[in-house]
Amino acid sequence: MANDKPRSLIEKILINHSDVDDLNPGDIVNVNIDARVARDFGGANVVNNLEKHNLTIQDPHRTFFTFDCNPGGSDQKYAANQQRCRIFARNQKLKIFDINQGIGTHLAIDLGLVSPGGTFVSTDSHANIIGAIGAFGQGMGDVDIASAWAHGSVWFKVPPSMKVTLTGKPGKFATAKDIVLRLLQHFGANGMLGYAVEYSGDIVDQLNLSDRITIASMATEMGAIITLFVPNADIIRYLEEKTGKQLKIVNADPEYAYQQEQTVDLGNLRPMISRPGHPEDVVSIDEISKVKIDSAFIGSCTNGRFEDLAKAAQILTNRKVAPGVVLKIVPATDKIWNKCLEKGILEIFKKAGALVGNAGCAGCAAGQIGQNGPGEVTISTGNRNYAGKQGKGSVYLASPATVAASAIAGYIVPEDKIPEKPEIFVSSATLESTHKITPSGPQQEHPLEITGRVWIINKDNIDTDMIYHNKHLAITEISEMGQYALGNLDGWQDFPQKSKPGDIILTGKNFGAGSSRQQAVDCFKALGISAIIAESFGAIYERNAINTGFPILTLKTRLSELNINNGEQIKVNLEKGTVIKSDRTVIQINPFNTVQKDIYLRGGLL
């Protein structure tokens, strides 16, 4: 029977949550979702979509808001969006994990909103953290989440599966963050693109839940759909204790033939550092020579667990943060915050001179604890250091141990090389000016053949912060978004002024990597861009574009091989997958699939 053949872990989870008993990579399946979450920055748009289309909630008991981006409600637009969600939740009898609770993905694990083998979606691009407990989690845009709330399921393309075996014994001072930075060094920003990855190897069973969350949280930065760990006995006991449920473990079949297998050697691993601008630009800390820092941040969904903070406290005990350096610490959840209080860890932080904030995402959200200013150098435990993501300065990524040690030293240093006396630095910064641009109106037609002028953006891994900066996330009117398109991509800040309705963008690999923000698609719709053709797209970006009815297509070859000139007029057939150049040469590209075509012709998923 078809359902008896060997299965990967992701295939088993998807089959268990669908009405099919056989599927293969590339198949499109309707997946039932155990827990559906909207956060504070995307929640108001989810509500807007539901009310606009007169949709109701399929199962209020499985539907949640998590307010983790702005735990203080300190921005007026965030505060307004949060209150809109609160009113909607009261009327619909939905559970809110409000600004005093912490990061939604961590709450989902600790409170049992999703269990091993389960399914979870959120407007958080790091919803794949759920892979830490062997469950399927996926970040999605506002339209996707609205559909999941209304119907209890979403369509999903079955990803191919990759097995990554970790070998070797890491060095004494290497942590889980150093392991995942080593993986980033190995795979780069798109080495796992589109895959569901299963980790294996002797070291995997030794990793605690905090370690697994750290590693799973950076799946997005390697392009993966999700990275999965099968829970060990200790983690199952923890989850059963927290949730009061008896849990079952879902495993891949040992004889399954993975689409790709790789081995990564962790032997004698030293602490690692990701240099500013690209999470995958990773080197050993021993290659970094006394880089001065202005600030340090410990927290985020990657390193805000109790074990992370306890390690930092161990290093900070009876020590002080270097003069001129600001150390900011934000626990992942309120329960972790309280445990730190009970264990005396917060007292250690305060005596060392650190600022401790309420539980939440902190530095990854504009305006929150962890942002930096122009010229500021920060070392952070976050998962992203894209230009502008955590402010106007530069951000290095490292483990909590390295961040704590660096805060004491005043420069980047591993915990085994903290100096007796800190170095004091004098820094300067130059403020940048900004300007506003009047947006054009969006196109309304849905032709299967389009003609337009080409813009060639010959770059790979253009992330959503480059496309649409997170400081504009509170904007909900699409007509206002066009003026900010590509506003954080070097050399393309004036694109809204130069582009015209009907233009077509040609670009490289992994376009739209990073965050789940719908605005990174809608800003192009606001400008009237008729299509984006890329070598490949970030997984969440691809869904967002398809679901909002915006034409995106993928090339069958490298961009450099097309011989198309910037500004050339081309004709694109979305259904046939052809590009006709001005000299009538025909280039084959990947056409719309049936789901994409249907959604496009309907004008969007909803």
If you write DSSP's letter for every residue of 95-159 in order, what string do you get? Answer: EEE-TTTB-HHHHHHHTTSS-TT-EEEES-TTGGGGGGGT-EEEE--HHHHHHHHHHSEEEEEPP
Residue 535 pLDDT greater than 70, yes or no: yes
Quick one: 260 and 297 in the same domain?
Answer: no
509 versus 424: the higher-pLDDT residue is 509
Predicted TM-score (pTM) of this structure: 0.84
Asked if the structure places residue 111 within a domain, the reply is: yes
Same domain for 135 and 254, yes or no, is: yes
Residues 554 and 532: beta-carbon distance below 8 Å: no
Structural domain span for residue 529: 449-602
Distance (Å, whole) CA 532 – CA 554: 9
Q: Alpha-carbon distance 443 to 550, whole Å?
A: 10
Which tens digits make up the pLDDT trace of 210-264?
999 999 999 999 999 999 999 999 999 999 988 888 998 999 999 999 999 999 9
Beta-ladder partners of 243: none
Q: 427 pLDDT exceeds 50?
A: no
Handedness of CA 551, 555, 561, 562 (dihedral sign): negative
Residues in Cβ contact with 292 at an 8 Å cutoff, skipping those fewer than 6 apart: 377, 410, 411, 423, 425, 427
- Tell which of 235, 265, 295 closes a domain: 265
432, pLDDT greater than 80: no
Between CA 314 and CA 326, with CA 320 as vertex, the angle to 5 degrees is 105
Q: Is the pLDDT of residue 3 over 90?
A: no
Per-residue model confidence as pLDDT tens digits over 81-117 = 899 999 999 999 999 999 999 999 999 999 999 999 9
* pLDDT value at residue 80: 86
| Residue at 430 is within a domain | no
Contact status, residue 180 vs residue 207, Cβ threshold 8 Å = no
Contact indicator for 249, 117 with CB cutoff of 8 Å: yes
Q: Is residue 258 part of a domain?
A: yes
Is the pLDDT confidence value at 173 over 90?
yes
Percent of the chain topping pLDDT 70:
95
Q: Could you tell me if residue 202 is inside a domain?
A: yes
Task: Tell me which amino acid residue 197 is.
Answer: V
* pLDDT confidence of residue 77: 78
> Which pLDDT belongs to residue 245?
86
Cα three-residue angle 24-28-30, rounded to 5 degrees: 115
Pairing of strands 35-39, 119-122: parallel
Q: Looking at 236, 265, 294, which one is the last position of a domain?
A: 265
Residues 164 and 288 in one domain: no
Share of the chain above pLDDT 90, in %: 82
Whether residues 246 and 176 fall in one domain:
yes
* Listed residue (402, 423, 421, 429) closest to 413, CA to CA: 402
What confidence score (pLDDT) does residue 470 get? 83
The burial class, CB within 10 Å (0-12 / 13-18 / 19+), for 459 is: middle
CATH number at residue 6: 3.30.499.10
The reply to whether 174 falls in a domain is: yes
242 and 320, same domain (yes or no): no
The reply to whether 325 falls in a domain is yes
Q: How confident is the model at residue 70, as a pLDDT? A: 77
Token pair recorded at residue 325: 């350096």
Q: Are residues 173 and 35 in the same domain?
A: yes
52 assigned to some structural domain: yes
Q: Among candidates 107, 127, 105, which has minimal Cα distance to 225?
A: 127
* Mean pLDDT value across residues 25-32: 97
Q: Is residue 383 located within the same domain as residue 465?
A: no
Spatial separation of the C-alpha atoms in residues 504 and 317, rounded to whole Å: 57
Six token digits for residue 567: 């500004």
404 & 481 share domain: no
Same domain? For 313 and 170 the reply is no
> What is the per-residue pLDDT across 40-71, written as a single tens digit (0 to 9) for each?
878 999 999 999 999 999 999 999 999 988 77
Exposure pattern of 526-565 as b/e (b: 16+ CB <10 Å)?
bbbbbbbbbbbbbbbbbbbbbbbbbbbbbbeeebeebebe
Could you tell me the CA-to-CA distances from 380 to 64, 314, 370, 425, 550 in Å, in that order?
Answer: 29, 18, 8, 19, 35
Q: Which two tokens stand for residue 199?
A: 């980790």
Cα–Cα distance measured from residue 11 to residue 158, given in angstroms and rounded to the nearest whole number: 7
Total number of domains in the chain: 3
User: What average pLDDT is seen over the chain?
Assistant: 92
Residue 74 pLDDT grade (very low, low, confident, very high; cuts 50, 70, 90)? low
Distance CA 247, CA 314 (A): 34
Distance CA 466, CA 473 (A): 13
Do 249 and 100 have their domain in common? yes
Sheet holding 272-274, edge to edge: 282-284, 272-274, 394-397, 377-380, 295-298, 326-329, 355-356
Considering 375, 399, 417, which residue would you say is the last residue of a domain? 417
The token pair that represents 38 in the structure block: 């909207």
DSSP strand pairing (504-507 vs 153-157): unpaired
Residue 341's contacts (CB-CB under 8 Å, 6 or more residues apart) are none
And the tokens for 492?
A: 């393309």
Q: Same domain, yes or no, for 242 and 347?
A: no
Q: What is the CATH number of the domain that holds 548?
A: 3.20.19.10
